[in-house]
């Protein structure tokens, strides 16, 4: 994960209530519409998403800036490659 300073406001994608594979599929669709370097902040309640998003970024070349779990929700900040 990157230590760079975030200066742009990320797009928000709230996927609460959706189960695998929908959080990844909807994120992939939104990322395809973004330009390289743009950020997306994803919220999910699917417990599998914590590892799914890490794997997704590793295999697509997108950068996982941060990921965290708070109060049964999972938050991801992803930078499009």
Active-site residue, selected from the candidate residues 20, 51, 66, 69: 20
Catalytic residue list contains 57: no
pLDDT in tens, 12-70: 999 999 999 999 999 999 999 999 999 999 999 999 999 999 999 999 999 999 999 99
Provide the token pair at 3: 């230590």
Q: Given 3.30.428.10, 3.30.110.40, 3.30.1780.10, 3.40.50.1100, which CATH number is that of 11-79?
A: 3.30.110.40
**Domain boundaries of the chain, sorted by first residue:** 11-79
For the chain, give the percent of residues with pLDDT over 90. 88
Single pTM value for the model = 0.89
* pLDDT for res 49: 96
User: CB atoms < 10 A from the CB of 17, how many?
Assistant: 10
């Amino acid at each position: 994960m990157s230590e760079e300073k975030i200066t742009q406001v990320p797009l928000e994608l709230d996927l609460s209530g959706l189960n695998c594979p929908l959080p990844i599929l909807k994120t992939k669709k939104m990322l395809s519409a973004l330009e390289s370097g743009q950020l997306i902040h994803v919220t999910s309640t699917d417990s599998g998403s914590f590892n799914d998003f890490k794997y997704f970024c590793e295999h697509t070349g997108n950068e996982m800036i941060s990921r965290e779990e708070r109060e049964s929700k999972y938050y991801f900040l992803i930078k499009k490659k």
